[in-house]
Amino acid sequence: MAEKQEEPSNAQNGEPENAEEGEEKKKKVKREDLPPFEIVTGERLPAIFFKFQFRNVEYSSGRNKTFLCYVLETQGKESVTSRGYLEDEHAAAHAEMAFFNTILPKCESSLRYNITWYVSSSPCVTCADRITETLKKNKNLRLTIMVGRLFMWEEPEMQAALKKMKSAGCKLRIMKPQDFEYVWQNFVEQEEGEEAKSFVPWEDIQENFQYYEEKLAEIFH
């Protein structure tokens, strides 16, 4: 199930191989015009990013960014749902940190927050610790994290950080094929003028899901 470790092409990294195609992509997405982590309502990540960054391979060669798609439900007198995505390419802070700093900078005690993240890989130790602290401080916040891959799961420090997250109330899950399809339908942009293309699972998607699910079960055992 392991993917060969090789230097990814520009296309694998989410960058078009063809320069002219790249210019068209820039005009369409206008990512360079956006400040780091600004979320535009209705913004969807390019399909080429999703296909490479979210793929649940065992060896994540070349995948050095974190893509975080979120659904934020705020429950008060009226329930409000917002969604969007973050990536950690343009600033020092990781996407998980950026969510708490920019999307949900303040948790009001009179409101309840149900948050679901769909993330290309699980958080690093620092981000996991921040998540744990945030959940302990804000009992009105519920967080479910669906991850495509486990990041450095063999490291004892990483395992300890994930266990602390779970103890603080965070629900950490491995993304099933249906979850990848959900992200494709709700967070990935489709070509204009075309009907939404159906999600095409990669060959080893189920096998890799089971692999990571077993590893996570061993960590939480």
Catalytic residues: 96
**CA gap 177, 192 in Å, rounded:** 25
Answering whether pTM is above 0.85, one says: no
Q: How far is CA 187 from the centre of its chain?
A: 11
> Which residue matches tokens 């329930």?
79
**In degrees to the nearest 10, what's the CA dihedral of 191, 201, 85, 120?**
-150
**Structural domain boundaries of the chain?**
40-189+200-220
Q: Which amino acid is at 53?
A: Q
Q: Is the pLDDT of residue 59 over 80?
A: no
Residue ranges of alpha helices (H) inside 31-168 are 47-53, 95-98, 125-137, 156-167
For residue 11, what pLDDT band results from cuts at 50, 70 and 90? very low
Q: Which pLDDT does position 91 carry in this prediction?
A: 52
Q: 40-189+200-220 has which CATH code?
A: 3.40.140.10
Element counts in the chain: helices (H) and strands (E):
7, 5
Asked whether the beta carbons of 208 and 177 are under 8 A apart, the reply is: no
